[in-house]
Structure 1
Amino acid sequence: MPAPVPNPCGPALAQWLVRWPVQAHTRVAVAYSAGADSTALLLAAHAHWPDRVAALHVHHGLQAAADGFEATARAVCRGLNIPLLVAHVQAAPTPGQSPEDAARTHRYAALADLAREADAGLVLLAQHADDQAETVLLALSRGAGLPGLAAMPERFERHGMGFGRPLLDLPSSALRAWVQDSGHAFVDDPSNADTRFTRNRIRAQLLPAWQACFPGFRPMLARSARHAAQAQGLLDDLGRIDLARVGDPPAIAALQALGRERQANVLRHWLRLHWGVVPSEAQMDQVLDQLAACRTRGHGIELKVADGTLRREGARLAFSRPAQAAPI
C-alpha cells in the first residue's frame, strides 16, 4: 500500500512560521468554514499544535446551506477533539455595499470576537494562491494603486486580533485534491458557482483563460503582489517621515514645500492612519489643486473625501465625518 500523501499545508505552515513566529504556549485559532481549504489548514494546524488549536466557524445566515456547513464543522471538530466556537451573524449588505464586502466585514469582526473567547492570540485563514490571484486581477480591473495591487498580506491585524495567511503560495487544486484523496469530510459552498459575484466570474472565466495563455501564472501574480507590498511599505515609511515634518494635522505651508507626489502620499498616510480613509484619485487631485491655489489667508478649502470632509482650519488641514458615521 503506498504511503499516504502528506498534507501540503504542513510545509506551507512551517515556512510561514519561520517568517512569522508564534510564541510558545500561544493558542492558535483557525477560521473554519468546513470547506476543503480550511479543512486542510485545520488538520495541518492540529498536527502542528495538537493541544493549542481551536476552530472558529461563522454562520452568515445568507443561504439555506449554511446550516449544513455548521453541522459538518461540528462533526469534524468533534471527531478530532478540537474545540469549535460558532458565531451567527446577519451579514446583509448596507445600501451601496456589495454582499462580498458585507460578509467580509462581519466575518472578521466575528472571528476576532471568537478568537478572544477562545483565548487565542492568532487566527489562521485558508486563503490560497487562487484567492491571491483573484485579488490582484480584481485590483487591476479597478485601477487600484499599490495598496490594492499588494493584494492580501500574509500577516495583519484587525479588530485588535492578529490574522495570518500561510497558504498564499498553494493552489486551491492541491488543497482540494489532498482533502478528497485523504477521505476527510468537507462541504462545497454552492454560492461559489454564482457568477453574479465578481470573484466567481474571475474564478470561472478569467483564471482559466490566464492559465491557458500563461501556465503557472499564480506564483508570478503573487510575486507582483509582494513587490507592490514592498513598494507600498517604502511609501508608508516616507509618509511617516513627511507627516513628522508637516505636522499632525498637516500645516498647509509645510505641505506646499513638498512636491505634488509627496503631498499626495503624506495626505493618504495621514487619512489612513487616523480614519481608515482611502481617497479616490479624483478626490486627491482636487485636494492637491486646492493646496496649490491656497496662497492667501482667506482661501477656503472644503472638499468631500471618502465619507467625510477635508477642510482648512487656520493654517492646517482637518478631516471630519458626519456625526452618524463611524470610523472603519
Structure 2
Amino acid sequence: MAEARILSVLKDWQPALPLAVAYSGGADSTALLWACAQRFPGQVVAFHINHGLQAAATDFEAHCQQQCAAWGIPLHIAKVAAHHAPGQSPEDAARIARYKALEQLAQATIAQYAIKTIVLAQHADDQVETVVLALSRGAGVAGLAGMRPAWERNGLRWERPYLATGGAQMGATQIRADLRALGIAWVEDPTNADQDLTRNRIRAQVSPALAQAFPQFASTLARSAANAALAAELLDELAHMDFQATGSPPAIKVLQALSVARMGNVLRYWLRTVYGQTPTAAQLAQLVQQLQHCTTRGHQIHLKVGRGTVERRGGVIDWYNPSVLV
C-alpha cells in the first residue's frame, strides 16, 4: 500500500529525461528520489546542497551519500555560503543559494548526464504554508499564487510533481508513514521544530487548525493559488505590453498616460525584471503618487525602493544602488 501510494502520484507524470532530484535527505525528497528511481531507472541522479548553516549539515550530507550508494543513484554535492544580506531573511538567502547551486550542478554535469529536468519535492502542505505566509504579509496575486508547479529557465525544466497532492494522499505525515512502512530512512532538520521561524509556526499551529475546521482546505487553497497564478500571468502580460511603450528606463510622460493600476503594475514589472527588486506596497504607492504630480521640470523624485533608490533623470526615472556604482 505504501509503495503503491508513493508511486501513484507520479504515474501520469512525464518529465523530460534524464532528471535530477533535489535531495536534502529529508522525508519529502527521500520519497521523491525513491519514486523517481523506481519509475525511471537509470535516468535519475541526485543533487544535494550543503548550506553549511548548522552543525547537522555534515550529517545530512553523509546520510545522502550512504542512501544514494545503497540505491545505486549517482549523487553530486555542492557546498554554498547561504548567509543572508541585511534586510534579507535567512530562508530567502538559503533558497536563492540553493536554486543557483542546483542549476550550476546541472551545468557542471551536462557532459555526463545532460540533465533536462530538476525535480523538487514540495507538496500541497508546503503550498499552504507559502500562501498563508503570503497572506500574512499582504501579498498581491503573484504572492498568493504560491509556488509554481513547473517552469523553465536557462534551458532547464523545473518541476514539482507533488504540488498538486496533499492532505491524506501525499502530505508530510503520510509521506513519513509510508517511508517507515518501506523501511526507508530519512533525516529530520532540527530547525523544523523552531517556532521562531514563521513558516514553522504556520505548520505547527495554523495548518492543523485550518484542517480541523475545513478538512479539504489544502486542495481548495491549491485551486485558489492556481487561480491567482493565472491572474498574475495576465498582469505580467499587460505589464510587458506597457513596458514596451514606456521603455527602460521608463519615460515619465508615457507612465502618466496609464491608469494608476497599470502604472503600478508596469513599475513593479520593470523593477523586478530589470533590477531584481520588489518594492513594498508603500514604496510603490509613493512612487506612483510622485509620478502623478511630476508636471514641471523642477520636480525631483528621489525615493527608496527595494535596496536602492528611484530617481528622476530628465524625462525618465531610473533605479540605482549607490553601493554598487563605480
TM-score between the two structures when normalised by the length of structure 1: 0.90
Structure 1 CA distance, aligned partners of 2:305 and 2:157?
Answer: 29
Where does structure 1 lack aligned partners over 5 or more consecutive residues?
none
Structure 1 CA distance, aligned partners of 2:185 and 2:118?
Answer: 22
Which of 65, 76, 83 does residue 74 from structure 2 map onto? 83
Structure 2 CA distance, aligned partners of 1:89 and 1:128?
Answer: 25
Aligned ranges 1:127-146 → 2 under 5 Å:
127-146=122-141
Q: Is the 8 A contact 1:8 1:175 kept in 2?
A: no
RMSD between superposed Cα atoms in Å: 1.9
* Offset, 1:39: 0.9
Q: Is the 8 A contact 2:2 2:179 kept in 1?
A: no
Alignment of 1:29 with 2:24, yes or no, is no
Match of 2:215 in 1: 215
Structure 1 CA distance, aligned partners of 2:85 and 2:275?
Answer: 20
Structure 2 CA distance, aligned partners of 1:70 and 1:233?
Answer: 38
Partner-residue secondary structure (3-state), 1:54: strand
Which of 113, 118, 121 does residue 123 from structure 1 map onto? 118
Where does structure 2 lack aligned partners over 5 or more consecutive residues?
166-170
Match of 1:176 in 2: 176
Distance 1:160 1:15, change over 3 A: same
Distance 1:7 1:249, change over 3 A: farther
Distance 1:297 1:263, change over 3 A: same
Which of 33, 36, 39 does residue 48 from structure 1 map onto? 39
Q: Is the 8 A contact 1:7 1:178 kept in 2?
A: no
Which of 4, 9, 13 does residue 10 from structure 2 map onto? 13
**Aligned AA for 2:137?**
R
* Offset, 1:159: 7.4
Structure 2 CA distance, aligned partners of 1:278 and 1:94?
Answer: 15
Match of 1:243 in 2: 243
Q: Is the 8 A contact 1:72 1:185 kept in 2?
A: no
* Offset, 1:36: 1.3
**Aligned AA for 1:147?**
A
* Offset, 1:235: 0.4
Alignment of 1:99 with 2:90, yes or no, is yes
* Offset, 1:88: 2.1
**Aligned AA for 1:253?**
K
Partner-residue secondary structure (3-state), 1:40: helix
Partner-residue secondary structure (3-state), 2:67: helix
Structure 2 CA distance, aligned partners of 1:314 and 1:63?
Answer: 50
Partner-residue secondary structure (3-state), 2:3: coil
Deviation digits for residues 238-270 of structure 1, max 9, x if unmatched? 111111223332221111111100111111111
* Offset, 1:178: 1.6
Distance 1:297 1:97, change over 3 A: closer
Worse-matched range after superposition: 29-38 or 65-74: 65-74
* Offset, 1:62: 2.3
Match of 1:200 in 2: 200
Structure 1 CA distance, aligned partners of 2:223 and 2:76?
Answer: 35
Alignment of 1:321 with 2:298, yes or no, is no
Partner-residue secondary structure (3-state), 2:99: helix
Distance 1:309 1:16, change over 3 A: farther
* Offset, 1:294: 1.0
Distance 1:161 1:321, change over 3 A: farther
Distance 1:194 1:101, change over 3 A: same
**Aligned AA for 1:92?**
H
Partner-residue secondary structure (3-state), 1:64: coil
Match of 2:168 in 1: none
Match of 2:104 in 1: 113
* Offset, 1:67: 2.2
Q: Give % identity.
A: 50
Q: How many residues align?
A: 316
**Aligned AA for 1:117?**
A
Match of 1:150 in 2: 145
Deviation digits for residues 194-251 of structure 1, max 9, x if unmatched? 1111111111111111111111211111111111110000000111111122333222
